[in-house]
Structure 1
């Protein structure tokens, strides 16, 4: 009894996500350990959501299996996703050498700013930061994943408000993929380390999974040698994450899933003192029913924080300290799939999300008699919310599958403000912004025709919606010397698009896909140049992207090949008088390709090489600063040693290609140089 009271007291003092998740896990433990059918047979659960409906392939969909996910030379989620045609981060740099707030993700060249235009889900839960909209990549550990499904194009299903350019669904692995105990430890030639592990016991008819990962290093030089000064430093980083999942059967066709994720990520970029930190605690509860009346009920909570110090590139003194950006996200969904007869499916659902946050920062004197002292303080924040109702259905008639969906969203922006305070904390000016709310209806529809077992033709059309983030609405920022203003008058982005494609299976083990698309965003939010070293977030008239996506997979005997290619013609339209009209969206390449060749020469052996090319991009909206094309080669090898243990060798950017990730008037940042890893993997 004393132990119970002690645990209850600790939980009461914990943050909300941890308290909720640990309390639920404690309650689930007896069910997991003793869940058996009446006849004594164990109930086997999946830990996943409901299966996709027959109409899903009508939309351009790509799936990465565990073999592809674990073949990354860097062991990072953004590197894994780069093999998908159309996937794009705001910058080329990965999560070791970029500012976390720039880690937005989009698809189909529909980028141009650092906010995500694609919806990223982990076990059904949105992962984007509630304030900024970036994706916390260090918290998404590839070796803990079972499958990744990427659907390109606007969507009207659950959490469809965020899927303007598509949806990326990550599903966690269970005991079958992880084994009871799994561990990895690697070190590179610079002394950086990467350590991860998992424990995944089966408990009755369910299971539990506990995972952890820790990355640290002094990093590489992002600053070219001829631009380094005394204040220049390597891109130091340290990140860790830990997670726990329990999946328990309640009946023969209903399972309860609980997940907790805690992470922290610290980085130093370019100059000594230019430190950033992001941290979070996420918890979710999910109830999945697979009977005649299928259902998926989900609730989640996120607690996040971000801080960032800006160092002047002229005198290398601290100019801005964004010392705190606490934010929280709450949400949930309920989806029902009633039995509607053979050859039909129907999904009815409602989801809700609420994001709130506050930015707090101090601006410093960088010259004059008060150098180093606080000049003024800034605060900004607000609350965004959305409730959406959706219906999605399929009808199968012989080789033809028809699919369609409708979604209605009630969006609301409230409590927005920006205020300036003097060094003592007295408010000197404040602006409060009016509440905005609206109803928007979006839709999608498609058709899929199976031409025997060799080919399938598909076509789809859709619309989409994205609400501006709190960051875009209320927080100005500086990437010295460029200042970008916020804009509380921003309106939601609206997408309209269509596509057509073919999926070929000419022989066993070979799949080839081709998709042509045309997507347009009206009122696209962009960072628009309005003066020397001054930009503002504005809605531009239209962002159009059209292009071709190709994919290929072939597996025969010990050999396997996975490839992708995308060509896009993207441009901004903002009226005949605007200098933006006809320009590429910033950070957007026209051409990108990736190919991975893998071989398993003997049992336990694995060798894979990935060749990747990214075409020329532009840093800014006016196409004045070029990011040259880059081609890299990565390699991964695993060699068995003794039972359960193997040697792991990895090589990133083997030929040491120079990758320019930022070019601001000739001031350059570079991406990952040649990096060689060696370590051990153990599983049982």
Structure 2
């Protein structure tokens, strides 16, 4: 991984030199100053037709005031957001951290595209999101668009897109630090420096979380080998932004992280780590452009402990993955009524696993396995937003050239004999997708909108080539999986009679054809297969009311999601997809009487859902209450108090035949935050 760290650091070193040479302001040919340069550190502004789609934005004050301090907790306030399992990133296997929207779940891969400053962050092999590395305190805003994606890196956004923008000095201040401890003795510490350098700035941040964890195993199911969900995660980011002229800026970013967890049994340890670097040029002149390049290196390991002998049965020693890619988008000057986007993006990834199965009786390795492959996606897209009086119309098209190649599975016996050596056929194809929408601004306070879209997601290398075990069930891979394809429609109303009140309601109908699901073949065997489709129809609503220093906000998602299946899968027809609740709702009341003060309470309800595709094992509904308090002690020091799941609700995160895992119990945090403004 050393070479990958060097690759991630190269853009940052380049920008440091640019910052040192950056002029304080641009001058014209006569030497007269043109005026101050404005450096944003963001991409190009969204188009006027963005409201045609179901969009929700999370502002920084809400990002920085979650009870757990974790990004998945923040995103849970968005109607329709869902992880594969209910557990957060302290007590879940990293490979389960797939995120999706619109009740299109059913397995652990992400069906939503997650971007950090324009860069896709999902692990290319598994499709999971490194949630513990995405610290909310580093972010300025998050925009969630539900429904089929378009634009850069649109392949994979079949349920929507989650766009995270990093915070700058104006939001963070020159220095910010925090240190907290909870009632189990677990700690969370962070430090961020954000100095301005000339007309640019640098933001350097580090966060370290560690703890003994809580008991995920119910008391009546614990044995001598049971263990708390211990965790330790460390992440660091470095970001620099500088002007190259009065209209062009360069942005460089780097992110490194390492995460270690223990789940359920002693020795059942997992690790995930990664490094990524990106370099971005944004032009805001008459010919606007956004050019981005990135490189990522990630790894994953996992040890499986038998729930009967409590010995190691599988050692997934490593899963190194490398991805490189980028995008180039141009917005030519086509008149004030139009915003035209022309672009291309590319992502190339490769990865393989190395694992050793062990005998639960002898404790000796029984085989040596390797599996993996390569994928690529080249996308070309065009989209135009056209303002016609009270109407804003948008239409776009995207063409993707995808490849799946060099897939293999090889197994050697303990003596070195070849048990299996399979090379899978290469595949490739073109896929065309489109989306369009209209916004009718009936009055300043009222808008109606409608949209239709399609999308594409390739099966991950994990789904294609890697089997896995959650005892006693083995889930087989399937190298013949077809890409998933989405068709969707939605209509909504946005009501905002004043700056104090906004209400949004959306009805949608999405159908994911050839959806990849973990299909039960027997009591101990499942296989990843394409079902005919997952059909999700429902309503999403959100509201926000500001009454002086009081802010009331809420969201609700009600979805009727069903599997469409036939042939050998007919038993699944009409059933709800695994891990998908019908109802999810949250509400937050906050009070910020003056600068630095914030008190907030969040109630969240997640409906019942099923562990498996046959609706055999139920995960009961759960309602939780979280509290957050921030009170100034001095000009530069704030007292922070946080409470997770204050009612100590029992949250079942896994249920396989009565073998249960639990989510976070009541947890109380206290600490300080120090900052200069």
Alignment TM class, shorter chain as reference: over 0.9
Structure 1: give runs of 5+ residues left out of the alignment: 1-10
**What is the TM-score of this pair, normalised by structure 2?**
0.98
**2:425 corresponds to which of 429, 434, 440:** 434
**For 1:504 and 1:517, how far apart are their aligned partners in 2?**
18
1:568 to 551, 559, 565: 559
What are the residue-to-residue correspondences of 1:421-570 with 2, within 5 Å?
Answer: 421-570=412-561
Kept after mapping to 2: 8 A contact 1:253/1:290: yes
Q: 2: distance between equivalents of 1:425 and 1:127?
A: 37
1:296 aligned partner:
290
What is the aligned partner in structure 2 of residue 321 from structure 1? 315
Aligned ranges for residues 269-668 of structure 1 at < 5 Å?
Answer: 269-367=263-361, 371-575=362-566, 578-668=570-660
Does the aligned pair in 2 maintain the 1:294–1:338 contact within 8 Å? yes
Q: Within 2, Cα distance between the matches of 1:94 and 1:110?
A: 19
- Per the alignment, residue 5 of structure 1 pairs with none
8 Å CA contact 1:155–1:443 kept in 2: the answer is: no
CA distance in 2, matches of 1:17, 1:314: 44
Pairing partner for 1:45 from 29, 39, 45: 39
Distance 1:530 1:156, change over 3 A: same
**Cα pair 2:112 2:156 within 8 Å, conserved:** yes
> 2-side partners of 1:208 and 1:549: how far apart?
38
Cα distance between partner residues in 2 of 1:55 and 1:472: 36
Aligned counterpart in structure 2 of residue 17 of structure 1, from 4, 7, 13: 7
Deviation at 1:424, TM superposition (A): 4.9
Q: Residue in 1 aligned with 2:25? A: 36
Instruction: Give the Å deviation of 1:427.
Output: 3.5
TM-score, normalized by length of structure 1?
Answer: 0.97
- DSSP-derived class of the 1:162 partner: coil
Aligned residues of 1:106 and 1:165 also touching (Cα < 8 A): yes
Q: Distance in 2 between matches of 1:552 and 1:175?
A: 30
Q: 1:650, 1:152 → 2: CA distance?
A: 30
Measure how far apart 1:26 and its partner are.
3.3
Post-superposition offset of 1:429: 2.0
* Partners of 1:89 and 1:301 in 2: CA distance: 26
Checking the alignment, whether the CA contact within 8 Å between 2:464 and 2:479 is kept in structure 1 is yes
Task: Give a deviation string over 1:279-338, Cα, whole Å, max 9, x none.
Answer: 000000000000000000000000000000000001100000000100011110000000
Of 37-46 and 577-586, the range deviating more from structure 2: 37-46
**Could you say what secondary structure the match of 1:421 adopts?**
strand
Give the Å deviation of 1:18: 3.2
Aligned partner (choices 117, 120, 123) of residue 126 of structure 1: 120
Structure 1 SS opposite 2:532: strand
Distance between the aligned counterparts of 1:99 and 1:13, measured in 2?
27
> In the TM superposition, what is the alpha-carbon distance from 1:14 to its structure 2 partner?
6.8
Q: d(CA) in 1 for partners of 2:48 and 2:204?
A: 34
Measured after TM superposition, the shift of residue 421 of structure 1 is: 1.1
Change (3 A) 1:251 1:238: same
Structure 1: distance between partners of 2:255 and 2:18: 17
Q: 1:19 to 1:172 in 2, by over 3 A?
A: closer
Unaligned runs of 5+ in 2: none
Alpha-carbon contact 2:12-2:252 (below 8 Å) kept? no
Against the structure 1 CA distance between its residues 366 and 649, is the aligned structure 2 distance closer, same or farther, given a 3 Å change threshold?
Answer: same
Check conservation: 2:4, 2:275, Cα contact below 8 A.
no
Tell me, in whole angstroms, the C-alpha distance in 2 between the residues paired with 1:562 and 1:28.
43
Q: Distance in 1 between matches of 2:520 and 2:135?
A: 37
Distance 1:202 1:507 in 2: 36
Residue 669 of structure 1 deviates from its aligned partner by 0.3
Give the match for residue 17 of structure 2.
Answer: 27
In 2, are the aligned partners of 1:36 and 1:204 still within 8 Å (CA)? no
After superposition, the CA RMSD in angstroms is 1.3
Q: What is the DSSP-based 3-state SS (H/G/I as helix, E as strand, rest coil) of the residue aligned with 1:25?
A: helix
Structure-1 separation of matches of 2:589 and 2:496: 19
Query: Within 1, Cα distance between the matches of 2:505 and 2:486?
Result: 22
